[in-house]
Chain A
């Protein structure tokens, strides 16, 4: 931290889930950010521009750091693991009684692909690919998705 850079005071931390390319000033984004007096339009435009390379309607998790001087920074993380698993298994909802009933099936190849996407997430950088795979399999177990070697 150079002496010339003034440290900004953090006002609030806001976690949002927004569909890629579809940030609008309407609720829920609007009130969530608007109450911290942030420039909504700038956030929407910025977020939409940065998620252009992602299919629309994919829910992205965003963390916005609002500073006290009404500026903000945000980081976009990859969508949630459960979303990927549900897409891979082709189901809409997870099992209502996980571990008692199976809602869908994925193969280990799906897990590997999901792990590769997750590896670029800032939170997962320190984990080995194998560790990420194990954590994805744990999530799969918790929403009732079975993991098999191949789909027959």
Chain B
């Protein structure tokens, strides 16, 4: 009996109130039958399983109370009455035994969805043309007759589709142009995905909402928001390890392309005296400042500057000032800014750049060898970090 599964999709044009809500599957709908007893009365003549299905069509919402509160001036009952009027199963026909037997055997699943074109309209007043559609998962040998029965009951159209177990449903998303993303409404960082990570022995990067696994180690608390730098990425790890090796204490650090501020803040925690961060993204500036506060570093320890994304208006640093310069950006900006980045380091100061893939290493090394000596390349997982000492 078990042949391939098919979807039977029935639609019917309904003029009723728009609802942006999705309907429930049968299992949850069954629990709502009691709440909708006023609908059930009209379907008394149906066989029990069909009535269940009908009730599920009548009960598109978790509770009518939710509906009333969501849509003031609610016409919850009239809403349901409208659906009722178009229910597929309002007929005395009992020769829909095929459907009956299928449904009673419990081998079907039903999803009903309402597609409406106009959202957000005043629920009580407007009527918009909308399609009520139900998706029924049945075995293949029954699909044809079920489809015919549904058409008899008043469905506008019925289509049979092959059901695949993991189907990829194509959804098109169009960009409405560059828009700022309200960080508050979107949770960028899934709390499970971002976990404490030990980048070097005794150095942990811990999300703000987690407890440090090793309280004795150096723990940097971080909430990156929309800026880059959680400690996960190989380039961040490379730079952090490099900093861990090269900071002896009391240095003045420049972090070019600071992102969430992770490199500067870690450097300060390891023992640097002062840090300055530069980024072209205002989100990064606010994120770095916020993270500094979380780690109890005030603004005189970490200063962040917003740089223009073209090369004008360099940040107000003197040349040859910093002991350590670290830049984790991308190859193109690194090549464009090579002079600026290396000039900020004082003679004999250390410079490290990352954010480059191993294929791009040669170009970067060639460009930076003009200004740096003792150039060394570190690699991790396809990404690389180039470090050197500024020529005197």
Contacts and interface: CB of A to CB of B under 8 A. Distances in A.
B186 interface: yes
Interface stretch (A35-43, A100-108, A134-142): A35-43
Contact of A32 (B173, B178, B330): B173
A13 to B, nearest CB: 6
Given A41-B224, A44-B228, A45-B355, A30 B233 contact: no
Interface string B156-182: 000000000010100001111011110
B216 interface: no
A52 B330 contact: yes
A44 to B, nearest CB: 7
B188 interface: yes
A12 B170 CA distance: 10
Interface string B51-89: 000000000000000000000000000000000000000
Interface residues of A, number: 24
A79 B379 CA distance: 30
Contact of A13 (B168, B235, B357): B168
A30 to B, nearest CB: 6
A27 B179 contact: yes
B360 interface: yes
B181 A27 contact: yes
A29 B357 CA distance: 22
B190 interface: yes
Interface in A18-75: 21, 25-28, 30-32, 34, 37, 39-42, 44-45, 48-50, 52, 70
Contacts of A30: 181, 186, 188
Contacts of A48: 330
Contacts of A25: 181, 188, 226
B176 A42 contact: no
11 contacts: A13-B168, A26-B178, A30-B186, A32-B173, A41-B230, A45-B233, A45-B330, A48-B330, A49-B355, A49-B357, A49-B383
Interface of A: 10, 12-13, 21, 25-28, 30-32, 34, 37, 39-42, 44-45, 48-50, 52, 70
Q: Return the 3 tightest CB-CB contacts between A and B, nearest first.
A: A28-B175, A52-B331, A26-B181
Given A26-B178, A28-B174, A34-B186, 18 more contacts: A21-B332, A25-B188, A26-B179, A26-B181, A27-B175, A28-B175, A31-B173, A37-B193, A39-B193, A41-B228, A41-B229, A42-B233, A45-B228, A45-B233, A45-B235, A45-B330, A49-B356, A52-B330
